[in-house]
Chains A and B, each alone.
Chain A
Amino acid sequence: MNDRENAVSNLDLETPEKPYLDSNELIINMGPQHPATHGVLRVILKLDGEKVLGTECVIGYLHRGVEKIAENRTYTMFNPYVDRMDYVAAVSNGLGYCQAVEKLLNVEAPPRANYIRVILTELNRIASHQLWLGTHALDIGAMTPLFYTFRDREEILKIFEKYCGARLTTHAFRIGGCQYETYAGFEKDVKNFLTFVAPKIGEYEELLTTNRIWLERTKNVGVISGPDAIALGVTGPVLRASGVKWDIRKAQPYANYSQFDFEIPTGKNGDTYDRYLVRMEEMRQSLRIIEQAVNGIPEGPIMAKVPKVIKPAVGEIYHSIEAPKGELGYFIVSDGSTQPYRVRVRPPSFVNLQALDVMVRGMLVADVVAVIGTLDIVLGEVDR
């Protein structure tokens, strides 16, 4: 059903202006404005009836030149820009960038800052997965989980707002640690949230996990095998659902993830249903991490000794973290001045989106929407 030998070759598509003579094939455009493409993504489908013969993604509608901007801002000035890439999981973006610059400066954030960072990042992971679940279910037709997940996500956004003033693009961390001390009642809020959300995740599962229609729409849809996923550079829950048990938090721990006890959920078949299960379980594991972290926040400073003017030594560094969508990497080249010489962001959604072509070969049109949803792409990150 999936002809994988053509996995990476060019699609041999005509541009839409030229007429196509073969009457069996239809070229349909899922245009940039479409309720189901999670942003401005254009997918050109080559169909034979309902079957998809090939796809081509046209991206760049949200390209803002973030990497070019980075060369013209100082390290601290660039910090808010990274939130805007994956705007759903802004805290993770900030964490990756701040840690990359800290590595370049050869400083380490103090333990208390690391705990705060871990708590906020895992909260953001849950929020990102909740948004994913709501929109993915909506694409497949179940319209109620969307409202439930958004309602529960509000609690996380309230915590963010109390902490740093912003709900979505939080700019929560600074180079060297955190800027803001936790507000009075932070631990209580987080603990209340933990007890609040655990049964809610059960609610979502009750609606979907054993639902016959959900199973039919997601099982064996968008299958990608482990070796294919590795070759395509796919990371995150997509890779884990294909059976590769790899998570940067365990393989190359950053912040203080090595101190926490949590598991990496994996799937077996690499289909949409497995990715759904992996993300649901990841939410639960995030709750575990938050619980361990919030029960043991140490006292101490929240900011390391970092100079007022950040001028790292000449050199380059690559640092990556496990963002909710996959491996988010920052490759920063410093030339010794206050502005980075080059900042390269390795976006997980960009690389995951490449796998769309391989995953939908041979599927039906209705599955394309499901697969785009299950890849969990954010166009802000794909285009930067």
Chain B
Amino acid sequence: MLDSFMSYLGSTVTPGEANNQLWAMIYVLIIFAGVSVAVMAMNWLERKALAHFQVRLGPMRVGPHGLLQPIADAVKLLIKEDIIPAESDKFVFWIAPLIGLLASFTVYTVVPFGPSQAVSDMNIGILFMLGVSSLAVLGVVMAGWASNSHYPLIGALRSSAQMVSYEVAMGLAVVSAILMTSLHGAGLYGVAKLSDGTGTLSMIGIVQAQQEQQVWFLFKFFPLGLIAFVIFAIAMIAETNRAPFDLPEAESELTAGFHTEYSGLRWSLFMLAEYAAMIAVSSIAVTLWLGGWVRPFPHWLSGPTWDFIFALFPGLTFLGLGAIAFLGTVRMPKHAYFRVQTIGLAAFGAVLALIGVFLLAIVIGAKVSPHDILNRTTEGLSNVFWFVFKVAVFMYLYIWYRATWPRYRFDQLMRVGWKVMLPISLGVLIVTAIVGVLLG
């Protein structure tokens, strides 16, 4: 076991390719834990950001500024009574959230956090992701059916129809990004062959193609890449049943959605699956169009100094978050009732600042006295940080959309999916292909 542990340490491929099960397990556990923490953080951020959009404060009492609110929610949901409708199909009722969860979490096998930081770099990575995430539809339909009540059934059918429709547009947008991986030409419109080879479906390969072509696919063949990205961005909101496409689960509509009859832990599994799916499709968007783990401006601002400056970002971010926490501590009311919260927030800020200092130490250490392990750690940190940062931007955008826009009526939603998104994405695909051929 120990050699299996040690033998991977110097490797430059993913554990899947290195055939190292131990490290694959470790990566899986890290990702599982990470996504769970991310879901909780997303829950907190949603409540706080939505509240601030609406001129109110959000949770403030459970932990300083509501930081412990997700934990309180999780505990509450866990200790709730497990209610199963009397006439429901018990097995299907039990398994539906598990299938949703399965679909949402399995895709993380191929999400790349770095050039070798993925559980396994399948050569059909993107296809795998799209395929497995579609399984969520099955979970939704099973939930609606098993509830044995016609409101959840109608909601589930609507939800599944919506998800299926937008997958078509999503898939076509993805294909135009894949097309660009086969170009091998540098710059915005370059198709001149820098190297041989074909395009690739592997997630790591896509990011490496962007690295080689020195441009994010967002800007490639401007505005084609942009349009494809926008199509995907809209379709992914509809995939995950979020505003403005959240009619199937909105409270003020007649049918309250497929998860009406679920309560407690089962319902929290659906929520977990929904947030995990949001993060997963955002990862696809980041990987395909935003350059994945690559730091901004790797070619314009290149060189060791710029590398160093950009490598400072993770540490500085944590220090910045710690500073915000300290600012919050200073602004807490000076009253006996708030003492615990003030101390808690200060401790939280201290932890964040310590992490930031630690990261900075690694980076500065790597610069001052280069050492193989330090260099690789810095690089790995940097990759993971930039990837997570880009995904976090998408998460914030999700919340922003929810706060700002009303929701589409179901028939308008379907019309947008089939009559607007599909033709545009098809058009972009064809034009991308033509341009690629013409310029080359």
Direct touching of A and B (C-beta under 8 Å): yes
Task: Mark B380-412 against chain A: 1 for CB-CB distance below 8 A, else 0.
Answer: 000000000000000000000011111111111
Q: Scan residues 305-342 of chain B and give those whose CB is less than 8 A from a CB of chain A.
A: none
Q: Scan residues 48-92 of chain B and give those whose CB is less than 8 A from a CB of chain A.
A: 50, 53-56
Give A213 to B237 CA distance when docked, in angstroms. 15
Asked whether A148 lies within 8 Å of B254 as measured between CB atoms, the reply is: no
Asked if A357 is at the interface (CB within 8 A of a chain B CB), the reply is no
Asked if B247 is at the interface (CB within 8 A of a chain A CB), the reply is yes
Asked whether A137 lies within 8 Å of B411 as measured between CB atoms, the reply is: no
Residues of chain B within 8 A (CB-CB) of A143 are: 50, 54, 402-403
Which secondary structure dominates chain A's binding surface? helix
Residue of B nearest to A45 (CB): B254
Asked if B107 is at the interface (CB within 8 A of a chain A CB), the reply is no
Asked if A211 is at the interface (CB within 8 A of a chain B CB), the reply is yes
Asked whether B410 lies within 8 Å of A50 as measured between CB atoms, the reply is: yes
Residue of A nearest to B407 (CB): A141
Asked whether A142 lies within 8 Å of B404 as measured between CB atoms, the reply is: yes
Which of B56, B254, B404 sits near A207, CB closer than 8 Å? B404
Asked if A103 is at the interface (CB within 8 A of a chain B CB), the reply is no
Give A139 to B252 CA distance when docked, in angstroms. 6
Residues A364 and B411 in contact in the complex (CB < 8 Å), given A141-B244, A144-B54, A213-B244: yes
Asked whether A365 lies within 8 Å of B253 as measured between CB atoms, the reply is: yes
Residues of chain A within 8 A (CB-CB) of B251 are: 35
Give A37 to B406 CA distance when docked, in angstroms. 18
Give A267 to B63 CA distance when docked, in angstroms. 51
Distance in angstroms from B234 CB to nearest chain A CB is 12
Distance in angstroms from B2 CB to nearest chain A CB is 55
Residue of A nearest to B246 (CB): A141
Task: Mark B16-60 against chain A: 1 for CB-CB distance below 8 A, else 0.
Answer: 000000000000000000000000000000000010011110000
Residues of chain A within 8 A (CB-CB) of B402 are: 143
Asked if B250 is at the interface (CB within 8 A of a chain A CB), the reply is yes
Asked whether B250 lies within 8 Å of A141 as measured between CB atoms, the reply is: yes
Residues of chain A within 8 A (CB-CB) of B243 are: 141
Residues A366 and B409 in contact in the complex (CB < 8 Å), given A141-B250, A147-B55, A147-B56: yes
Give A171 to B405 CA distance when docked, in angstroms. 38
Residue of A nearest to B416 (CB): A216
Which secondary structure dominates chain B's binding surface? loop
Q: Scan residues 133-163 of chain A and give those whose CB is less than 8 A from a CB of chain B.
A: 137-144, 146-148, 151
* Chain B interfacial residues counted at CB < 8 A: 25
Task: Mark B209-239 against chain A: 1 for CB-CB distance below 8 A, else 0.
Answer: 0000000000000000000000000000000
Task: Mark A199-237 against chain B: 1 for CB-CB distance below 8 A, else 0.
Answer: 000000001100101101100000000000000000000
Distance in angstroms from B152 CB to nearest chain A CB is 14
Asked if A294 is at the interface (CB within 8 A of a chain B CB), the reply is no
Residues of chain A within 8 A (CB-CB) of B247 are: 141, 366
Residues A211 and B405 in contact in the complex (CB < 8 Å), given A144-B54, A151-B55: yes
Residues of chain A within 8 A (CB-CB) of B405 are: 141-142, 211, 213
Distance in angstroms from A1 CB to nearest chain B CB is 13
Residues of chain B within 8 A (CB-CB) of A369 are: 252-254
Residues of chain B within 8 A (CB-CB) of A151 are: 55
Give A297 to B50 CA distance when docked, in angstroms. 43
Asked if A30 is at the interface (CB within 8 A of a chain B CB), the reply is yes
Which of B406, B410, B411 sits near A142, CB closer than 8 Å? B406
Q: Scan residues 400-440 of chain B and give those whose CB is less than 8 A from a CB of chain A.
A: 402-412
Which of A138, A146, A208, A216 sits near B408, CB closer than 8 Å? A216
Residue of B nearest to A139 (CB): B252
Asked whether A30 lies within 8 Å of B408 as measured between CB atoms, the reply is: no
Asked whether B406 lies within 8 Å of A36 as measured between CB atoms, the reply is: no
Residues of chain A within 8 A (CB-CB) of B406 are: 137, 140-142, 208, 211, 213-214, 217
Distance in angstroms from A280 CB to nearest chain B CB is 16
Give A142 to B402 CA distance when docked, in angstroms. 8
Asked if A28 is at the interface (CB within 8 A of a chain B CB), the reply is yes
Give the 10 A-B CB pairs with smallest separation, nearest first: A141-B407, A141-B406, A147-B54, A142-B406, A36-B252, A140-B406, A366-B409, A35-B252, A147-B55, A213-B406
Q: List 13 A-B contacts (CB under 8 A).
A: A28-B254, A35-B252, A139-B252, A140-B407, A141-B243, A141-B247, A143-B50, A143-B403, A213-B405, A216-B408, A364-B411, A365-B253, A365-B254
